[in-house]
């Protein structure tokens, strides 16, 4: 009784490592890994990057010199134009030297802000508020009521600039 077709012979021996499935890396895995590494490197660079140091005394000095030069070119105007220019010069100086938002505020917002000009002594702060109120009165007054001369507005602005810069 011999059965034909059945082979009961021993199979060839195999190594166990041959039974472990192999992993073929797909291309998108490589791109994903590279993208994650690049994102981490970029994040580290952004976090560790040194910000340029701004010398506040130099910036204040440059703002002062710019304002002083602007005042010298403010002669020979009518009172309303002079008041507008003096106000803009002083507001630009405050914005640049003290990081004040005065350049972008109305007169009422600037005067009403309690933390405005917080680095200045109280007497200089109240003087600045009074001067800006005078400028607003000249800027918004009818033409026949304006009683101030442009040179006085310019001189008052220059004097206030000196006091603010000196404080």
- d(CA 162, CA 125) in angstroms, rounded, equals 13
Count the alpha carbons within 13 Å of 139 in the hemisphere toward its beta carbon. Answer: 15
Q: Among 104, 111, 106, which Cα is nearest to 126's? A: 111
Which tokens in the block code for residue 13? 């021996």
Percent of the chain with pLDDT over 90: 7
62: alpha, beta or left? (left if phi > 0; alpha if psi -120 to 50): alpha
Rounded to two decimals, the pTM is 0.61
Asked if residue 40 has pLDDT above 90, the reply is yes
Q: Among 87, 72, 81, which Cα is nearest to 131's? A: 87
pLDDT in tens, 125-135: 888 888 888 88
Asked if residue 6 has pLDDT above 80, the reply is no
| Predicted local distance difference test score (pLDDT) of residue 76 | 67
pLDDT in tens, 70-108: 877 766 677 788 888 888 888 888 888 887 777 777 777
Is residue 120 within 8 Å of 128, Cβ to Cβ?
yes
Q: Among 84, 98, 70, which Cα is nearest to 165's? A: 98
pLDDT in tens, 144-167: 666 666 677 778 888 888 888 787
- SS3 (DSSP) at 143: coil
| Predicted local distance difference test score (pLDDT) of residue 78 | 77
């Amino acid at each position: 009784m011999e059965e034909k077709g059945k082979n009961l012979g021993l199979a060839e021996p195999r190594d166990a490592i041959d039974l472990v499935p192999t992993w073929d890396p797909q291309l998108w895995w490589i791109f994903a890994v590279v993208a994650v590494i690049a994102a981490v490197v970029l994040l580290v660079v952004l976090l560790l990057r040194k910000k340029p140091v701004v010398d506040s005394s130099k910036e204040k000095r440059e703002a002062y010199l710019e304002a002083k030069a602007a005042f010298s070119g403010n002669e020979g105007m009518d009172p309303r134009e002079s008041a507008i220019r003096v106000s803009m010069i002083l507001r630009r100086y405050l914005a640049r030297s003290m990081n004040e938002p005065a350049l972008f505020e109305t007169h009422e917002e600037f005067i009403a802000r309690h933390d405005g000009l917080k680095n200045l002594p109280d007497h200089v702060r109240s003087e600045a508020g009074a001067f800006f109120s005078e400028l607003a009165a000249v800027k918004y007054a009818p033409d026949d009521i304006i009683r101030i001369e442009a040179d006085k507005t310019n001189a008052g602005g220059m004097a206030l600039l000196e006091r603010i810069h000196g404080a």
